[in-house]
A and B are shown apart, each in its own frame.
Chain A
Amino acid sequence: MTKRLLDLGYGLARMSLQAIGIVVLVFFMCRIVPGDAVDRLALEGNLTAAQETRLRAEMGLDRSLPVQFADWAGSALQGDFGVSLRYHRPVSEMLANALPSTLRLAFLSFLVGLAIAVGIAVAAVMTGSRWLAGLVNLVNVWAIALPTFCVGVIAILVFSIWLGWLPVLGGLLMPVMIIGIDNAGQIGKPLFEELREAATSAHVRTARAKGLRPWRIALFHLLPTALPVALAMSGLVLAGLVAGTLTMEILFGLPGLGSLMLNAIHGRDYPVVQAAITVAAVGLVVVNALIDLVHHTIDPRLSR
């Protein structure tokens, strides 16, 4: 038990360091890119050089980078992400508007992906159907070969423009299905291979010999064996969801974290970029920690 806690603590510390690393890196990278928020105002609002200098001082952009970082980090640790340089609105309010959309899209598409992957992989192994095994491969190749933005454009053309069934702007079904199938492709194939190997193991043969129903065998004998693989793959898929949802947010006009971040980067709205990256990085650390925890719980060998 102590070792397990220690492992968990070590894992959390490692991931927290990674998150801090990401946040620091992004802070400095943002400022290496030419142009700042005052340039945006100058571009659109036609400021004189003297006005630009004054604005930079007002926004604190004329201070050294370490000072700016320390100032930002101090406030962020107290939960204050500051005010958007461009919109003069609290960053926390902008995040609160964007997060639900991203979480909804990520959560639903992850569930859909998991359901499709588990469903076809289990069915393929239990029935031994070559068609279903082919479907597993097809979904896998689909995910590898077809970028989501490409599928998204075609889906909009077919389902929104030609058929008029689904909305382009704000609709969730298309983006959830597109990312879901992409996720299913990543999880499904390794899961299928793991299940196929598990199906030949002694305890499954015994279960069959006992005359258990196929669904009981699948649920209680096959799946637990393959769960660690499913979890490991899910961790990878979840880690990629922030980037994965961005293209869908843009294509389908969803007000999520990805587009908030992208627009903020374009506008050099540093407080918004910083806060969004921090939330995404901390979110990833938490998700990975949870997956690690579950992993250790279902597979005690890892804690030995």
Chain B
Amino acid sequence: MKTPLLAMSRRQLIAGVAFATLASTLPLPLVAEEVSRGGVLHYATLGLDTSDPHRHTGSIAVQQLYVEALTSIGPDGGVEPFLAESYEISDDGLTYTFTLREGVKFHNGDTMTAQDVVANFERVKENISGGWLASAMKLVGTVEGRDERTVVLTMTEPYAPLANLLSELWIVSPKSEGWDETITTPIGTGPFSFGEWQPQLRLYAPAHNDYWRGEMPYLEAVEANLRDDLDKASAMRAGEIHIASVPRDVAGQLGRSGDIRVSTLKDSTWYFVSFNNRNPRPPFDNPKVREAIMYAVDKQAFMNFMAGEDGVVTNQMVMPGHVYFDQELHDADRHAAPDLDKAKAMLAEAGVTPEEITIEFVSWQENYPQVVVQMVRQLGFKVNHVALDDLGAQNRLGQYDWDMNAMASGPRADIFLRFVRLMSDGPNPVLWGGIQDADLDATIKAAVAEPDEAERKALYLDAWGRVMDGYYTVVLGHAANTIAMREEVQGYEPGFTWSPNWATGGIAQTWLARD
């Protein structure tokens, strides 16, 4: 099972067609003029929490300027060989053989070898706790360098998401300062190097002159603005930021200014309502009561509020066009339209008098949960809506003393990274009410271990069916994160996730047009 650089799987094809349709509606630049070299690109999307790439705590966009991995996620969500030129997976799904790209240089001038890659696997496996990779690394049996350019990894059991997840196992030179504890100056292979970092303020990343992708990068440097509180819209309009993530309403205004174009990440953010699944109190432990409540929620109105015409209403955690999306299931969505009468009848049948019950409803300090709250109130429930900042909500949700929430979750490198949150021992399950369901766990595990894509999809759909039947979490819909780019930015189109750098695109091939 050899994976060449530009092979297109069925999954990629389907997703690609869907996204190409979406992308064709956007005002993409036509790169007709000659590439112009130099210039500093000012970039403002997410922050940077640590200088140690292996210890990242979620903000992984910026660090991908200077570190790369064996694989990357293409704009269609498909996995691409990156620092690995190609890789093979044995038929039993247990052995991965990576052939490294020739002549890849670290920022210190050293050539990347198989031993460097092995050292990174070992560092993450032995020293890093928590994070997406932790559970995957537990299943890694051995990693060895067969020769200078070949790395062989053996799993103790099949683990289908591995190739996707390895897009977040960054290869750093073991000579990086702080390697044995916390890396303070990462030496990567990325198109830009880790220059000057001022936490919460900026990262200045100068170009890597020995970068492996030919003439790239074209830019002299990237300056990432790391401030949480930055007024990106003003800075973009004044020409001081070139690429920024902005809220959808702001993006709309910027897009009308003429010198800024707006695009989106290609994976979506999904919005959902979850019930407390770990410690539910009556009557919310009754799936029929949950179902009744959801009949009061007008998903279309909610998504209109969230994203206008760009919002997609569905009942799944991926949106139409994604390989794991199921049209039949979508068409059978019994909550596609609200039905208050049915909701009230079901509550009466379950012996519930809404007027006597106060729903403890937890959310972030956003507008959209209020929409859900108002819809639920139509049934006569009293709702105590507690809106907290992200850490406050995290803490409160973790106490499992609430009944409902309305939340959102962003793009992920693999479908498993969405399903893992629904598992009994999954990482940070609070947004989904801490589901405890052994059968669900077993089905997800079976999907993960299934090497055949069609079988895997069927298993994931089984798992999702179980989530739907139990009304653990109910999906309201999807909307993509918006990225604004100034007109002088050429050769850049946002990718599948927040990553700014991947094998077939990204910031390495970006340049700034001169006046």
What residues of chain A have their CB less than 8 Å away from a CB belonging to chain B?
Answer: 33-36, 39-48, 51, 84, 86-89, 94, 97, 153, 156-157, 160-161, 164, 167-169, 250-251, 253, 255, 259-260, 262-263, 266-268
| B198 (CB) vs chain A CBs: closest residue | A97
A46 partner residues in chain B, CB cutoff 8 A:
58, 130-132, 427-428
Please, how many angstroms separate the alpha-carbon atoms of A34 and B402 in the complex?
15
> When A and B form their complex, which 9 residue pairs have the shortest distance between CB atoms, in order from nearest?
A44-B58, A35-B391, A46-B427, A45-B57, A34-B392, A35-B395, A44-B57, A160-B238, A47-B130
Q: Contacts A47-B428, A262-B229 hold; do A268 and B391 have CB atoms under 8 A apart?
A: yes
Q: Would you give 5 A-B contacts (Cβ < 8 Å), ordered by A? A: A35-B395, A39-B391, A47-B428, A51-B129, A94-B199
Q: A169 touching B240 by the CB < 8 A rule?
A: yes
| A44 (CB) vs chain B CBs: closest residue | B58
CB distance from A2 to the nearest CB of B (A): 49
| B501 at the binding interface (Cβ < 8 Å) | no
| B185 at the binding interface (Cβ < 8 Å) | no
B239 partner residues in chain A, CB cutoff 8 A:
164
Q: A167 touching B240 by the CB < 8 A rule?
A: yes
Q: A266 touching B392 by the CB < 8 A rule?
A: no
Q: Which of B369-396 contact A (CB under 8 A)?
A: 388-396
How many interface residues does B have (CB within 8 Å)? 41
B288 partner residues in chain A, CB cutoff 8 A:
none
Q: Contacts A35-B391, A168-B231, A260-B200 hold; do A43 and B428 have CB atoms under 8 A apart?
A: yes
Please, how many angstroms separate the alpha-carbon atoms of A86 and B228 in the complex?
14
Please, how many angstroms separate the alpha-carbon atoms of A164 and B237 in the complex?
10
Q: Contacts A39-B395, A43-B391, A44-B57 hold; do A266 and B427 have CB atoms under 8 A apart?
A: no
| B49 at the binding interface (Cβ < 8 Å) | yes
Excluding A35-B391, A87-B50, 9 further A-B contacts by CB distance (< 8 Å) are A34-B396, A43-B391, A46-B132, A160-B234, A164-B238, A168-B235, A250-B229, A263-B227, A263-B228
Q: Which of B123-181 contact A (CB under 8 A)?
A: 129-132
CB distance from B44 to the nearest CB of A (A): 10
Q: A48 touching B391 by the CB < 8 A rule?
A: no
Please, how many angstroms separate the alpha-carbon atoms of A157 and B253 in the complex?
14
Q: A266 touching B389 by the CB < 8 A rule?
A: yes
Of A51, A88, A169, A263, chain B has the most CB atoms within 10 Å of the CB of A169
| B131 (CB) vs chain A CBs: closest residue | A45
Please, how many angstroms separate the alpha-carbon atoms of A283 and B317 in the complex?
52
B228 partner residues in chain A, CB cutoff 8 A:
263, 266
| B391 (CB) vs chain A CBs: closest residue | A35
Please, how many angstroms separate the alpha-carbon atoms of A260 and B226 in the complex?
12
Please, how many angstroms separate the alpha-carbon atoms of A268 and B395 in the complex?
12
A44 partner residues in chain B, CB cutoff 8 A:
49, 57-59
| B128 (CB) vs chain A CBs: closest residue | A45
| B249 at the binding interface (Cβ < 8 Å) | no
Q: A43 touching B199 by the CB < 8 A rule?
A: no
Q: Contacts A161-B238, A167-B238, A251-B231 hold; do A88 and B182 have CB atoms under 8 A apart?
A: yes
